[in-house]
């Protein structure tokens, strides 16, 4: 059978087969990583920061994430390893002199190179467009191409002059194998820092405990001398408690009556209280401030009854 116009449909036009898997353009994916923030997917703009896994971010996007981690954002899995501002490093980038910015008003007859990058390597001049392997130094944040670090081997930064080691070099936007190695290195550093912090804390507590024990040992002999009773030849014991009384006990005959009498007689006499009026060292003006003074006493004629007043009388 044919359709209108005498056309004959074929089998692939009538039967729907499985859809073909769309392949992602590798160059376009790499270009997006080097020109867009890994968290907000916005275009990279200064200041640009990088994490310990080599991913590029806009600094304001990371700060917003750290301030409010409960907010729902896309690509949250790429920043779960960032705990604070110390886990990111601000990059010291070198501008590309041939970069003219975004050509929004470019005409059709003008060629626009999409692989042109904003930044380049300061040593060999390679552009950061995803085609070349780039690294950054965790000590200073300077960015260089991998070719420059291999050709000019040194332990001093080519841009700022700071010293660095091989473990301070981190690959930017590396492959899956590079990310796995960087993750292992990151976890090892964090575990070592945690153990060092615990060791310092335990050492500090040990020093405090030792100092406290020494202080208690130094106080013990003084307290034992002050609190121990003094026994004389006659067999009587005396204890001084801040100017308190004396306690005496006689060794009488054996028996229940003697035991009860000795227990009742061994009581401390309470300290006598002195009145303010009896203190000779105090002045008469000071004594007149208290109710025990003679000027504060009144006769019955001077005393008056209490008078209650309520607003209902008005």
Supply the CATH number for residue 161's domain.
3.30.40.10
Q: What is the reported pLDDT for 307?
A: 59
pLDDT in tens, 165-205: 988 999 999 999 999 999 999 999 999 999 998 888 888 88
Range(s) of the domain holding residue 190? 175-211
Q: What is the reported pLDDT for 153?
A: 85
- Tokens 């009854």 belong to residue: 305
Q: What is the reported pLDDT for 310?
A: 60
Q: What is the mean pLDDT of residues 110-135?
A: 84
The angle at the Cα of 145, spanning 144 to 151, to the nearest 5 degrees, equals 105
What is the spatial distance between Cα 169 and Cα 139, in angstroms, rounded to a whole number? Answer: 9
The domain total for the chain is 2
Q: What is the mean pLDDT of residues 27-33?
A: 81
Question: In terms of domains, do 50 and 156 share one?
Answer: yes
Question: In terms of domains, do 84 and 33 share one?
Answer: yes
Spatial contact of 276 and 287, defined as CB atoms under 8 Å apart: yes
Question: In terms of domains, do 121 and 195 share one?
Answer: no
pLDDT in tens, 199-241: 888 888 888 878 777 777 776 554 545 454 444 434 444 444 4
Assess if residue 135 is contained within a domain: yes
pLDDT in tens, 233-279: 344 444 444 444 443 343 343 444 444 444 444 444 445 667 888 88
Question: In terms of domains, do 195 and 157 share one?
Answer: no
pLDDT higher than threshold 50 for residue 302? yes
pLDDT higher than threshold 90 for residue 101? no
Question: In terms of domains, do 95 and 190 share one?
Answer: no
Assess if residue 286 is contained within a domain: no
What is the spatial distance between Cα 256 and Cα 72, in angstroms, rounded to a whole number? Answer: 86
Question: In terms of domains, do 182 and 94 share one?
Answer: no
* Two structure tokens written together for 29: 């994916």
Assess if residue 117 is contained within a domain: yes
CA quadruple 221, 224, 227, 230: dihedral positive or negative? negative
Question: In terms of domains, do 164 and 189 share one?
Answer: no
Highest mean pLDDT (candidates 3-12, 66-75, 95-104, 244-253): 66-75
What does the DSSP 8-state code read for residue 268? P
Domain boundary among 174, 195, 223: 174
Helix (H) or strand (E) holding 231: strand 230-231
Tell me how crowded residue 99 is: count the other CB atoms within 10 A of its CB.
13
Question: In terms of domains, do 162 and 189 share one?
Answer: no
Assess if residue 52 is contained within a domain: yes
Assess if residue 169 is contained within a domain: yes
- Long-range contacts of residues 22-30, Cβ cutoff 8 Å, at least 24 apart: 27/130, 27/131, 30/130, 30/131, 30/173
Assess if residue 235 is contained within a domain: no
Assess if residue 9 is contained within a domain: no
Question: In terms of domains, do 74 and 179 share one?
Answer: no
Compute CA 277 distance to the chain's CA centroid, rounded to the nearest angstrom.
62
Of the chain, the percentage scoring pLDDT greater than 90 comes to 30
Of the chain, the percentage scoring pLDDT greater than 70 comes to 70
Question: In terms of domains, do 197 and 68 share one?
Answer: no
Domain boundary among 211, 238, 262: 211
Domain boundary among 211, 238, 266: 211
More confident residue, 163 or 25: 163
Supply the mean pLDDT for the chain: 77
Compute CA 159 distance to the chain's CA centroid, rounded to the nearest angstrom.
33
Assess if residue 125 is contained within a domain: yes
């Amino acid at each position: 059978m044919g359709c209108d116009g005498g056309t004959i449909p074929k089998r692939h036009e009538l039967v729907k087969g499985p859809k073909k898997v769309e392949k992602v353009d590798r160059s376009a994916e790499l270009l997006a990583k080097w020109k867009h923030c890994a968290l907000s997917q916005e275009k990279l703009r200064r200041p640009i920061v990088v994490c310990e896994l080599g991913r590029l971010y806009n600094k304001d996007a990371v700060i917003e994430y750290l301030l409010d981690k409960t907010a729902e954002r896309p690509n949250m899995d790429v920043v779960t390893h960032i705990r604070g501002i110390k886990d990111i490093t601000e990059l010291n980038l070198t501008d590309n002199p041939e970069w003219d910015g975004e050509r929004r008003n470019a005409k059709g007859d003008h060629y626009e190179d999409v692989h042109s990058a904003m930044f380049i390597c300061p040593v060999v001049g390679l552009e950061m467009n995803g085609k070349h392997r780039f690294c950054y130094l965790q000590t200073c944040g300077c960015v260089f191409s991998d070719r420059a670090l291999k050709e000019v081997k040194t332990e001093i930064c080519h841009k700022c002059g700071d010293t660095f080691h091989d473990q301070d070099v981190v690959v930017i936007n590396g492959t899956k194998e590079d990310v796995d190695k960087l993750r292992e290195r990151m976890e090892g550093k964090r575990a070592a820092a945690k153990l060092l912090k615990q060791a310092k804390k335990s050492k500090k507590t040990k020093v405090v405990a030792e100092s406290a024990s020494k202080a208690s040992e130094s106080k013990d002999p003084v307290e034992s001398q002050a609190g121990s009773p003094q026994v004389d030849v006659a067999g009587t014991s005396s204890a001084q408690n801040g100017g308190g009384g004396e306690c005496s006990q006689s060794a009488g005959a054996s028996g229940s009556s003697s035991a009860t009498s000795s227990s009742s007689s061994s009581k401390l006499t309470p300290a006598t209280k002195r009145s303010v009026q009896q203190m000779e060292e105090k002045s008469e003006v000071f004594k007149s401030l208290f109710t025990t003074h003679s000027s504060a006493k009144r006769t019955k004629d001077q005393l008056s009854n209490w008078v209650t007043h309520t607003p209902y009388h008005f």
